[in-house]
Amino acid sequence: MPDKTEKSGKQQVADERPVRRQARGERRIAQLLDAAASVFCTTGYTAASTNAIAREAGVSPGTLYQFFPNKEAIAIELGSRLMHRMRETYGEALAPPDPATPLEEAVTAAVDRFIDFNCRNPVFFALMHGPDIPGRMAEEHDALHATLITRVETLLTPFVPGMPAAEVHRVAQVCVGIYKAGLELVLAHEGAEREAYVQELKNVLVRYLGALVVD
Amino acid sequence: MPDKTEKSGKQQVADERPVRRQARGERRIAQLLDAAASVFCTTGYTAASTNAIAREAGVSPGTLYQFFPNKEAIAIELGSRLMHRMRETYGEALAPPDPATPLEEAVTAAVDRFIDFNCRNPVFFALMHGPDIPGRMAEEHDALHATLITRVETLLTPFVPGMPAAEVHRVAQVCVGIYKAGLELVLAHEGAEREAYVQELKNVLVRYLGALVVD
DNA sequence: GGCAAACACGAGAGATCGCTCGCGTTTCAC
DNA sequence: GTGAAACGCGAGCGATCTCTCGTGTTTGCC
């Protein structure tokens, strides 16, 4: 196997060749991404084999590599489409900069949206939660996390006007951490129990942030 | 490689042969477990190779398999020793069933102890946090988690006398989830920043539980 | 000292995985 | 219709990993 870095450096130029996809190809790509999502959900990223993904999609390994240069690219593309879907589903509606909104309402709305998205797309959690993400996936992961933190910071700022930036950053980190932990519990349960955990997650956040606001 | 289940079934009888360890052997085992802890910390369980563990310990792969039947057994034994050390370090001091203790004090004490232990033994977090734990490791993991939940439940009960058991269980799950999330943030920082995250973790728990107590 | 068992080595067997390659099939622009 | 390119296949290459085995060394007991 040749040097990876040189290869990726080459790609920036060589991959500019217009690989004109046919409708069939687009269908295969969607099929493969669906299969990958399914396999990633059940086994995680590293344990998922490209042969298993191809089998799940009902195609040969060779066909898989017709559309993706390597295993990582599958996860990258999947993550990218997931991010895109997330943006277009919830758009900028996440950050209503209206300081008149009560804290509890803002938290409830944000949590409900995110939980809903994660329940509909469980692979999102599988890709984000794995500590087994290699190379470029980690960058993608960090970028998303940073974006999320920033979003929470701006959401938070109007509620805590006097707080230093470093502290706001810390609070945002804690909030996201709490959300992730809550999400794990929510995804692990169903029906009424799941709803109860959602409510509990909201309680944690509201009480934590509420104490900061009235200070 | 023969059938694993048959092999393990055989082991229950065949492994009763007393493999009399020499002092040298005990030393090697400790050496190998230390090396395994180091490798698991940096690469995680699945990505850690037995050859890498042996190399880190300065012995040959064959020597490693003189003391452990397989890779999983290394993690099992490591986890077992970690659990034992945790018990003997903090013992039953975790559950002071004195209802006179204020909530904040109880939370602070419990969090400080656990954080301290996890900072001294980072491999504990590495083994618990990985979603990449196979076979018998998962059982061990679940058993530990269940123990932890039960412990928190008993710690919690005196503070919320009228609460139904199912709800106490849910609250305990949420508390452990919050703790894990907080631990991740704590381990990711150092010095004053780390202390700040510890304090923030305590705040979250105290405010969340405080609201339940006064209800 | 002698002997059996525990310890140590390291090459490599056996399995898996990511990925390639040669060749055949389908699609599409002209 | 025809040629080029996209699509599709699956055996298998090379790398890696877990674990074994034959052989030699050290230890502890008599």
DSSP codes of every residue in B18-60: -----HHHHHHHHHHHHHHHHHHHHH-TTT--HHHHHHHHTS-
pLDDT, mean over chain A: 88
Lowest mean pLDDT among A5-14, A171-180, B33-42: A5-14
Neighbouring residues of A176: CB distance < 8 A, sequence distance ≥ 6:
A145, A148, A149, A152
**Nearest chain A alpha carbon to B181:** A177
Find the residue closest to D15 using CA and C1' atoms: A1
User: How far apart are alpha carbons A196 and A132 in whole angstroms?
Assistant: 31
Q: Is A46 on the interface with B (CB under 8 A)?
A: yes
Contact A42, A126 (CB under 8 A): no
Instruction: Please say if the pLDDT value at position A26 is more than 70.
Output: yes
Distances A20 to A23, A27, A114 between C-alpha atoms, Å: 10, 14, 36
Please report, as a single letter, which amino acid is at residue A124: F
Q: Quick check: A60 CB within 7 A of strand D?
A: yes
Phi-psi category of residue B120: left, alpha or beta, with phi > 0 → left and psi -120 to 50 → alpha: alpha
In tens, the pLDDT along B13-28 reads 445 567 899 999 999 9
| Contact check, Cβ <8 Å, A200/B131 | no
Contact (CB, 8 A) for B206 and B178 = no
Residue pLDDT tens, chain B, 215 long? 333 333 333 334 445 567 899 999 999 999 999 999 999 999 999 999 999 999 999 999 999 999 999 999 999 999 999 989 988 887 665 656 676 788 899 899 999 999 999 999 999 999 988 767 777 888 888 888 998 899 899 989 989 999 999 999 999 999 999 999 999 999 999 999 999 999 999 999 999 999 998 65
The answer to whether some atom of strand C lies closer than 7 Å to the beta carbon of A69 is yes
Please state whether strand C lies within 7 Å of residue A3 at its CB atom.
no
Burial class (CB in 10 A: 0-12, 13-18, 19+), B115: buried
Express each pLDDT in A39-59 by its tens digit: 999 999 999 999 999 999 999
Task: Give the phi and the psi of residue A133 in degrees, each rounded to 5.
Answer: -90, 125
| Amino acid code (one letter) for A143 | A
Cα–Cα distance measured from residue A62 to residue A67, given in angstroms and rounded to the nearest whole number? 9
Please report the number of interchain residue pairs, chain A to chain B, with beta-carbon separation below 8 angstroms: 80
Q: Is the CB of B28 under 7 A from strand C?
A: yes
B chain contacts of residue A138, beta-carbon cutoff 8 Å: none
Gap from B43 CA to D12 C1', Å = 30
Q: What distance in Å separates the CA atoms of residue A4 and residue A136, rounded to the nearest whole number?
A: 12
Question: Mean pLDDT, to the nearest integer, of A144-149?
Answer: 91
Check residue B92 and give its pLDDT.
Answer: 61
Which domains can be identified in chain A, with CATH numbers? 20-68 (1.10.10.60), 80-214 (1.10.357.10)
Q: How far apart are CA A201 and CA B31, in angstroms?
A: 43
Q: Which of residues 59-98 of B touch strand C (CB under 7 A)?
A: 59-63, 65-67
Identify all chain B residues contacting A211, using CB atoms and an 8 Å cutoff: 203, 207
Q: CA of A137 to nearest chain B CA: how many angstroms apart?
A: 16
- For helices A122-129 and A165-187, what crossing angle results, to 10°? 120
Cβ within 8 Å of residue A169, ≥6 positions away: A149, A153
CA distance A201 to B5: 42
Residues 15 through 44 of chain B touching chain A, CB cutoff 8 Å: 44
Do the chains contact at B211 and A208, CB–CB below 8 Å? Answer: no
Return the DSSP state at A96.
-
pLDDT at A39: 97
Nucleotides of C under 7 A from a protein CB: 5-12, 14-22, 26-28
Strands (E), B66-192: none
The whole-number Å distance from A23's CA to C20's C1' is: 25
| Confidence (pLDDT) at B155 | 87
Nucleotide nearest to A68 (CA to C1'): C19
Q: Coil, strand, or helix at residue B164?
A: coil
B126 CB-contact burial (10 Å; exposed 0-12 / middle 13-18 / buried 19+): buried
Determine the length of chain A: 215
Nucleotides of D under 7 A from a protein CB: 5-12, 14-22, 26-28
